[in-house]
Amino acid sequence: MKHWKVISLFFCLSVVGLFFFISTACGETKPIELTYSNFFPAPHKNAVLSVEWGKEIEKRTNGRVKVTVFPGGTLTPAAQCYDGVVKGLSDVGLSVLGYTRGRFPLTEVIDLPLGYRNGLEATKLINIYFKKFKPKEFDDVKVMFFHAHGPGILHTKKPVKTLEDLKGLKIVCHGLSAKIVSALGAVPVAMPMPERYDAIQKGVAEGGVFPVESLKGWKLAEVVNSTTQNFGSAYTTGFFVVMNKEKWASLPPDIQKIIEGINEEWIIKTGMGWDEIDKEGYGVSEAKGLKLITLSKEEDARWAKLVQHILDDYVKAMETKNLPGKEALNFCQEELKKLQK
């Protein structure tokens, strides 16, 4: 009898031990979950690339990390995305530097009308700049990477061929592009991209400045009738992808290394992505019959001349903040020349 009691006790302990082992093992294999706030609509190329970024992390960590992307600003609105990451409302966030103008003063150098030709060079430049200057304005997060769109140009309800045609028009914009709009004689109406469709459709504004891709990605070809290629005064917009600092610190070193490697790849993927969707934007424009206006060399020079003081203003503004604005501007201008060779 005692023999069977010993066997029963041994069996019970074995079962308990097995369950303990299984539960411990399951606990160890439970993936690290990351939430990713993204203001782009789900079909947009940048929302798709965000999902692919997460899937690549999951793949290379063998499922140890799972990233869930919340597109369309459903987790945090575009203008609150950065603070949302800092506060832990999302682990990762993607948004526009210019939506919180003045929050990232030194990095506003990227948004200046420097003569960008495409999104890849703009994206490469903002990452080169960050690695060089490491501005303290991003110290409260862990930067994944940056990117920037192709040339931001003018799109309006009525054709604009000259500065005189533009004078007094209400133009949606954001960040430093508002200064460009004002310098060209139009009236800036500052707002994030998700609000622009309704603003133009309802007549709150008569057009906007944005990259050509937005004609498709944000369906803005439905509310404008004309595109003006004012490349001499064109700008770009810097975008950030950042992670909550504490969340980053909690990740195992090998996972951090994997993510940093993927980030470097996504700089190129995202820059090339911007150029791909610019081409798609032109395709939609043509299909919908939008008028495409190329400024004459002389007219483009007039526009370019009017925005040059914005560069000087940037340097002066940085000097008042004891930031190396002149150095940052000169560096970016020289690096851009190298990228364009």
| Average pLDDT of span 269-281 | 97
pLDDT value at position 28?
Answer: 58
DSSP per position, 175-239? TTHHHHHHHTT-EEEE--GGGHHHHHHTTS-SEEEEETTHHHHT-GGGT--EEEE-GGG-B--EE
Assigned CATH class of 30-102+122-148+237-272: alpha beta
Q: Is the CB of residue 82 less than 8 Å from the CB of residue 100?
A: yes
Q: What is the pTM for the complete model shown?
A: 0.84
Alpha-carbon span 265 to 259, nearest angstrom: 10
The answer on pLDDT for 20 being more than 80 is no
pLDDT value at position 100?
Answer: 87
Q: Is the CB of residue 240 less than 8 Å from the CB of residue 147?
A: no
Instruction: Tell me the per-residue pLDDT of 92-125, one tens digit each, with 9 for 90 and over.
Output: 999 999 888 889 999 999 999 998 889 999 999 9
> Residue 98: phi, psi to the nearest 5?
-70, -10
The answer on pLDDT for 8 being more than 60 is no
* 152-236+278-339 to CATH, choices 2.60.120.10, 3.40.47.10, 3.40.190.170, 3.40.50.300: 3.40.190.170
Instruction: Tell me the per-residue pLDDT of 219-261, one tens digit each, with 9 for 90 and over.
Output: 999 999 999 999 889 999 999 999 999 999 999 999 999 999 9
The full set of domain ranges for the chain reads: 30-102+122-148+237-272, 152-236+278-339
Instruction: Tell me the per-residue pLDDT of 47-84, one tens digit each, with 9 for 90 and over.
Output: 999 999 999 999 999 999 999 999 999 999 999 999 99
